[in-house]
Amino acid sequence: MKLPNDATITTDLLHPLLNTSWRFYLLVAFLGSIVLMGLSTWIFQMVMGFGMTGINNPIFWAFYITNFVFWIGISHAGTLISAILRLVNAGWRRPVTRCAEVITAFALMIGALFPIIHLGRPWLFFWLVPYPSSRMIWPNFRSPLAWDFFAINTYLTGSLLFLFLPMIPDFAIVRDHSTGLRRKIYGVLALGWRGTTKQWHRLETAMSIMAVGIIPVAVSVHTIVSFDFSMAPVPMWHSTIFGPYFVAGAIFSGIAGLIIAMATLRKFLHLENYLYPLHFQNLGKLLLMMSLLWGYFVFNERLTVWYGNHEADMNVFWVTQTGSFSPLFWTMVTVNFVIPVIILGIKRFRTITGCVIASCGVCVGMWLERFLIVVPSLGHKYLPYSWGTYTPQPVELLITVSTFAAMTLLYTLFAKFVPIISIWELKAGKHPSPALFPEGAREHPLGEVHI
């Protein structure tokens, strides 16, 4: 398939910004009401006391921490697609980068809320900020939660900038294609961008530097989130595998989230001329690879624990494999590994629909995986007298649901105000730099190399 001509590209991609239907308002109202419900639930929890949740002794972390790790994991979509594919000059990334970076930015914001929501005294969360306080005390830098603060804030800052910088030339396009108030606002957002060769060069250099920088930050962020677990002497938490395991799981769930977002955009914004089945097949292959990698890590972890036969670890092991958590465990294995490998491994099934089905399963499975890491271990620590069970309460369920609505709402609003496909990058992909092509290499409008 060939991309439309430049004028059509601009018209198509600016269409959502310049035209709004009643369906948009309905969707925003619906999602907004769910988000408001979530916010009021949180206020209810703060006013009535943290006891409204299902947390108890010994299961002191449950839904909120699961959600925290889940959303931070989803946020790794952007880094993979934007940064890594940019660094290896994979041209097919061009229509996909902004979709992915937006997921990163919003998933991070939502994920970063959960450490505050789960606090006993959330109004004091700012004590994690290293500032000279009148109490003359600073945060404890030996604590994984302090590391979380630095890591997530660095990643959030980096991702927001990585998202915003390539939006500047697109804001200039909107500025030049609109009038009145819209022109003024986008004019401010475009920061006076003209498009001189010097500006392009600076922008591309900054993007390259940030692409190189954001990848180690992304790896470190989810590793540090995994340290929240591996630093504690809890059975089946204190494992060295957690760092890589969590990063692989994050990239896995990130790609799944991206596929779902892209398929939704393609359908509702009529982007069939820009997001091709090839994009989904490529992402589907990456998802397949991550599914196999995830399976490899799970196998590693469980074989080591089973072989070691350490009594405390084995209690947790059996309760997930054959005990009360086994329905969740085997569901997780099915939707994370069995189904994706079948759908994505067989070319006939690796269609857009197939990829979306596999991705939905992966999102469910990865949420379950985080839950199964947190709750069974906490419920079965070293002293059997203190073992316990957990039942989620309405506040936790409502807040969880509202974060999915919040993500969808933020994404919808973003697609309304910013072109969801980077117009200049897409057009630039039609004439990539000759440095990327040795003599005789064939060009493809979607990518530099055809696999």
Partner 1 sequence: MKALYAMYPDGHAAQRAVDGLRKAGVTDNDITVISAQPMEEFNFSHIGHKTYMWYIACLGGLVGFAGATGLAYITETSWPINTGGMPIVSWWPNLIIMFELTMLGAILASVITLIVTAGLGRRRPALYDPEVTDGKILVGVENPRDASLPDLKKALQIHPNISLKTI
Partner 2 sequence: MAHKWGLAVDLDRCDGCGACVTACHAENNIPTVGEMQAARGRAMHWIRVERYWEGEFPNVRLKFRPVMCQQCDSAPCEPVCPTYASHHTADGLNAQIYNRCIGTRYCANACPYNVRFFDFFNPAWDKPLQLQLNPDVSVREVGVMEKCTFCSQRILATTIQAKAEKREVKDGEIKPACAQACPAKAIVFGDLNDPESEVSRLAESPRGSKLLEDLGTRPNVNYLQRLTEA
Assess contact for 328 and 321: CB atoms under 8 A: no
Choose which of 55, 77, 102, 214 interacts with partner 1 (CB under 8 A): 214
- In a 10 Å sphere around its CB, with 0-12 CB exposed, 13-18 middle and 19+ buried, how is residue 272 labelled? exposed
Does position 6 bind partner 1 by CB under 8 A? yes
Q: Residue 29, Cβ neighbours under 10 Å: how many?
A: 9
Quick one: 11 or 140, whose CB is closer to partner 2? 140
Among 18, 43, 232, 346, binds partner 2 (CB under 8 A): 232
Q: Per CB under 8 A, does 124 bind partner 2? A: yes
The entry of partner 2, partner 1, none near residue 257 (CB within 5 to 8 angstroms by kind) is none
Q: Binding of partner 1 at residue 213 (CB under 8 A)? A: yes
- Tokens 């993500």, residue located: 407
Sequence-distant (6+) residues with CB within 8 A of 8 are none
Among candidate residues 333, 290, 398, 450, the one with its CA nearest the CA of residue 63: 398
Looking at residues 35 to 74 of the shown chain, list those that interact with partner 2 (rule: CB under 8 A): 49-51, 54-61
Picked from partner 1, partner 2, none, the partner binding residue 323 (CB below 5 to 8 A depending on kind) is none
Residue 132 burial (CB count, 10 A): 8
Q: Which of the listed partners (partner 1, partner 2, none) does 381 bind, with a CB threshold of 5 to 8 Å by partner kind? A: partner 2
Name the β-bridge partners of 444: 447
Residue with Cβ nearer partner 1 (213 or 295): 213
Question: Which of 8, 20, 140, 208 forms a contact with partner 2 (CB under 8 A)?
Answer: 140
- The number of C-alpha atoms within 13 Å of 341 and in the hemisphere containing its C-beta is 11
Q: How far is the CB of 383 from partner 2 (least distance, A)?
A: 6
Amino acid making up residue 163: L
Q: Find the binder of partner 2 among 27, 37, 84, 145 (CB under 8 A).
A: 145
Site string for partner 2, 362-391 (x = CB under 8 A): ----------------x--xxx-xx-xx--
Asked if residue 200 binds partner 1 (CB under 8 A), the reply is: yes
Sign, CA torsion 271/207/209/190: negative
Least distance in Å: CB of 378 to partner 2?
6
Of 165, 289, 292, 312, the residue at the interface with partner 1 (CB under 8 A) is 165
Sign of CA dihedral 245, 247, 248, 254: positive
136 is a site residue for partner 1 (CB under 8 A): yes
b (16+ CB within 10 A) / e for 347-361: eeebebebbbbbbbb
Interaction of residue 176 with partner 1, rule CB under 8 A: yes
150 binds, among partner 1, partner 2, none (CB under 5 to 8 A by kind): partner 1
Q: Which does 248 bind (CB under 5 to 8 A by kind): partner 2, partner 1, none?
A: none
Nearer to partner 2, 54 or 213 (CB): 54
Q: What residue 382 binds from partner 2, partner 1, none (CB within 5 to 8 A, per partner kind)?
A: partner 2
Which of 435, 438, 439, 451 is in the footprint of partner 1 by CB under 8 A? Answer: 435
40-48, 83-91, 216-224, 381-389 -> range binding partner 1 (CB under 8 A): 216-224
Alpha-carbon span 350 to 357, nearest angstrom:
10
Q: Which of residues 261-320 bind partner 1 (CB under 8 A)?
A: none
Residue 133 · residue 434 · CB < 8 Å: no
Q: What are phi and psi of 30, to 5 degrees?
A: -65, -50
Scanning 271-351, the segments in alpha helix (DSSP H) are 277-308, 311-321, 326-333, 339-345
Can you tell me whether residue 284 is helix, strand or coil? helix
Residue 142 binds partner 1, judged by CB under 8 A: yes
DSSP string, 220-237: HHHHHHHHHHHTS--TTT
The contact set with partner 2 (CB under 8 A) reads 49-51, 54-61, 115, 118-122, 124-125, 127-128, 137, 139-140, 142-146, 149, 228, 231-234, 378, 381-383, 385-386, 388-389
